[in-house]
Amino acid sequence: MPDTYEILTPDTVVDYVARDPVLAAVLPPERVGEVREVGDGNLNLVFILSATDGPGLVLKQALPYVRLVGPDWPMTPDRAAKEAEALRSHGALAPTLVPALYGYDTQRHILAMEDLSDHEVWRRALNRGDRHEGVATDVGVYVAHVAFGTSVFGMPADAQKAALAAAVNPELCEITEDLVLTEPTRPAGRNSVLPANEPDAQELIDDAATVREMGWLKWQFMTQAEALIHGDLHTGSIMVRGAANGVPRSTKIFDSEFAFYGPVGFDLGLAYANYVIAAARAFALGEDARARWALGLLDETWQAFDATFRALWPDRVDARVFTEATLEDFIAKVAVDGIGFGAAEAMRRIVGLAKTADIETLPDALREGAARGVLRASRMMATTRHTDPVAASIAARAGDILLASCTR
């Protein structure tokens, strides 16, 4: 990794685009309107260059450290190359659901992508109380295409092995192994909760059955190279646009820098967890109907995954032993895994370093019950998924737990 490289600023991005013939063709410098740095994630710089007419351009640059913490936490900027590869691979499999990639600058770790200014981050829309219909279906469709198309089911064995080797992403996986799959139940100094939730966090640590499940999930994450998964598919990694004025609704899944060959259930689980968290917020605010709607997204995503994966199955590359029984076994495995990884993601978003605006922006008096509900629901998810791996059923039980915890 080079020690230094040019870091873009709002003052230098237009010149950067002008110097690159491919990018200058997408957005000629004379058409650049406003330039804004909008990165609100935990890792990167993101610039939106709007155009004086029509769509603009997005530049995303990986910093050599974790933005959330600063230079004290160095992080390979080569993660941007993993994201570029995932965007190419996933974009080929689900073109309407992934932003277009215009180019990748290997020296400066900059991705140039489609301007999605007419979309917004789904988490923000959820937090405002908006209900975008169909997005959860799109998530399931995307996960299924990626699960099939990048796996040994959808690729020749030699090409799949080459893709797997190229996607090894140890630094970003280590973040997940620590923050998602270790620290919630075996705390590090980075954890924090409201004083009122300290007993809830301790109950989690003392819950041997949940700790056992976390050990198994971490092992699965580290060893089960099923497909080139997104790796960070929470509601902040999804952009949405509602239908209006003849423009159709749209979903775009982005921010795939955590992509690697891992278990398919991880992507479903991250979506599930963030639906549960959205429901916790809604219950805390007394919006029970909206909370139930958010919980319904688990089944919506699962059904879309299930139907899409089954529809792709006839195209598998090797039907000699990958039979209908293999299909049933694989889908059954993903169902159980998804709920388990959802449990891990939900609990880490309450006690761990990287929390969610859904819960954090609630007043403390409401946040306490919402956080308690998510922790209790996630323990239920982790420990009952083997006997009840049905997304709709888990969602209903999570709803009862959240409602009871949020009711003061």
Of the residues 125, 175, 253, 280, which one makes contact with ligand SR1 according to CB under 6 A? 175
Pick from 1, 25, 38, 68 the residue near ligand SR1 by CB under 6 A. 68
User: How many angstroms separate the first and last alpha carbons of the chain?
Assistant: 53
Measured from the CB atom, the residue of 42 and 326 that comes closer to ligand SR1 is 42
The item of ligand SR1, Mg ion, none sharing an interface with residue 359, based on CB under 5 to 8 Å by kind, is none
Q: What does 267 interact with, of ligand SR1, Mg ion, none (CB < 5 to 8 A by kind)?
A: none
HSE-up of residue 203 (Cα within 13 Å, Cβ side) = 17
In this complex, which beta carbon is closest to ligand SR1, that of residue 93 or of residue 179? 179
Task: Please choose, from the candidates 306, 236, 289, the residue with its C-alpha nearest in 3D space to the C-alpha of residue 399.
Answer: 289
Query: Which listed range, 175-183, 184-192, 336-344, 399-407, lies at the site for ligand SR1 (CB under 6 A)?
Result: 175-183
Q: Which does 374 bind (CB under 5 to 8 A by kind): ligand SR1, Mg ion, none?
A: none
**Spatial separation of the C-alpha atoms in residues 32 and 389, rounded to whole Å:** 51
41 touches ligand SR1 (CB under 6 A): yes
Q: How far is the CB of 75 from ligand SR1 (least distance, A)?
A: 8
174 vs 324 by CB, closer to Mg ion: 174
Q: For the CB of residue 231, give the shortest distance to Mg ion in the complex, in Å.
A: 9
| CA–CA separation, 182 and 260 (whole Å) | 19
Q: Which tokens is 242 given?
A: 């509602």
**For 255, left (φ over 0), alpha (ψ -120 to 50), or beta?**
left
The two three-digit tokens of residue 205, written as one number: 């640590």
- Least distance (Å) from ligand SR1 to the CB of residue 93? 22
Residue numbers at the binding site for Mg ion (CB under 5 A): 41, 255
CB of 373 closer than 8 Å to CB of 406: yes
Residue among 60, 68, 16 at smallest CA distance from 38: 60
| SS3 labels along 125-186 | HHHHCCCCCCHHHHHHHHHHHHHHHCCCCCCCHHHHHHHHHHCCCHHHHHHHHHHCCCCCCC
Tally of CB atoms within 10 A around 2: 9
Does position 354 interact with ligand SR1 (CB under 6 A)? The reply is yes
Q: Which of 7, 41, 10 is nearest to 234 (CA)?
A: 41
CB of residue 135 to ligand SR1, shortest distance in Å: 19
Given the complex with ligand SR1, which of 184 and 340 has the nearer CB atom? 184
Nearer CB in complex with ligand SR1: 43/351: 43
66 binds, among ligand SR1, Mg ion, none (CB under 5 to 8 A by kind): ligand SR1
Q: Which is nearer to Mg ion, 44 or 250 (CB)?
A: 44
Least separation in angstroms between residue 129's CB and Mg ion is 23
Q: What angle do CA 366, 179, 402 make, to 5 degrees?
A: 30
Specify whether the CB–CB gap between 361 and 371 falls below 8 A: no
Q: Toward ligand SR1, which CB reaches closer, 295 or 354?
A: 354
Q: How far is the CB of 183 from ligand SR1 (least distance, A)?
A: 10
78 versus 203: smaller Cβ distance to ligand SR1: 78
| Rg of the Cα atoms in the chain | 21
Token digits of residue 330: 């694989």
Locate all alpha helices (DSSP H) within 196-317, ordered by sequence: 198-206, 208-223, 264-284, 288-312
Examine residue 279 and tell whether it contacts ligand SR1 (CB under 6 A).
no
Q: Identify residues 199-238 at the interface with ligand SR1 (CB under 6 A).
A: 232
Binder among 26, 93, 113, 179 for ligand SR1 (CB under 6 A): 179
Binding site for ligand SR1 (CB under 6 A): 41-43, 66, 68, 175-176, 179, 232, 354
